Structure 1
Amino acid sequence: MDQRLEQVIAHPLHQHLGIETIESESGKARLSIVVGDNVINPAGVFHGGVLYLLCDVCAYAGLLSQLGAHTEAVTHDIHVSVMRGARAGEVVVFESNPVRVGRRIAFIDVSARVDERLIASARVTKTLLDA
């Protein structure tokens, strides 16, 4: 496993949110979390800000499997469309898929699902930098 991916998983915020593992291969990534008390909003549903953050994390994790050791990626833009909420106890699965990875910019699509129900989709744009 890429050391940078291990650092993503071990990040204290990501641990607090409930990320335990991330699969990353061929530019794609998959992660899941159980919606718990630390990620719900006052209305009792999955917090939108956490949803956005995890879409970004999933996009980055997938991209890591395609980046060279001396290339880093930072978020340039993110658009998230939320279609429905997730409730406490539900498992949300995030999957990323690279649309285009160029020399200086990458476009990644991310989906968030509960079972087979799509709850959100995102387009994440990353700027690629020399580390």
Structure 2
Amino acid sequence: MSEQTGPGGFAQRIGAQVEDADDGGARIAFEVREEHLNPAGTLHGGVLATLVDTAMGQAVRTTTGEGEVPATSQLTVTYLRPGSPGPLVVTGRVRTRGKHLTVCEADVEQDGEAVAHAVATFALLHR
């Protein structure tokens, strides 16, 4: 992908932008704003969960064929440090692609530091 595009759905509504998605990988840019913060003044964990899920889903979509729809069946997010207002980048990648299940990983970085790491399993629905 040469241009930034929205990922669609909820992630797009909160401002996520797909910078690249190709060959089992995806990169999402996100600007953390005041409305994304929790009462402690740091990036809400639910926003991070949405971003890693979206990045991994975009990565899986680069490997699917006609009629295959990825659906998150398991998601584990490890929060490494608090996120703060400003830009961050989420990188998702397919680790193992099976006929019915795909395993992915994602990393979130802000200011050159790791903010979160995630692992997810996606079921491939056939429609």
When normalised by structure 2's length, the TM-score is: 0.90
The aligned residue for residue 84 of structure 1 is: 81
The structure 1 segments of at least 4 consecutive aligned residues displaced by more than 3 Å after TM superposition are none
In the TM superposition, what is the alpha-carbon distance from 1:113 to its structure 2 partner?
0.4
Give the Cα separation in 2 of the matches to 1:10 and 1:79.
22
Aligned partner (choices 33, 49, 52) of residue 49 of structure 2: 52
How does 1:1-131 map onto structure 2 within 5 Å?
Answer: 9-11=7-9, 13-88=10-85, 90-131=86-127
The alpha carbon displacement at 1:22 in A equals 3.7
Give the gaps of 5 or more residues in structure 2.
Answer: none
Structure having the higher strand fraction is 2
Shift of 1:21: 3.0
Take 1:116 and 1:63, find their aligned partners in 2: how far apart are those partners?
25
Aligned length: 124
1:91 offset after TM fit, Å? Answer: 1.2
Q: CA deviation at 1:101?
A: 0.5
What is the distance in 2 between the residues matched to 1:85 and 1:100? 29
Distance 1:123 1:21 in 2: 19
Indicate the percent of aligned positions where both proteins have the same amino acid. Answer: 24
1:32 deviates by 1.2
Instruction: For 1:127 and 1:9, locate their aligned partners in 2 and report how far apart those are by CA, in whole Å.
Output: 19
* Cα distance in 2 between the residues matched to 1:20 and 1:52: 15
Mind listing any 5+ residue stretches in structure 1 that lack a counterpart?
A: none
SS at match of 1:21: strand
Deviations 1:9-63 (A, max 9, x none): 232x223311133411001000011110221111111000110111101000011
Q: What TM-score, normalized to structure 1?
A: 0.88
Contact 1:22 1:61 in 2 (8 A): no
Q: Is the 8 A contact 1:75 1:126 kept in 2?
A: yes
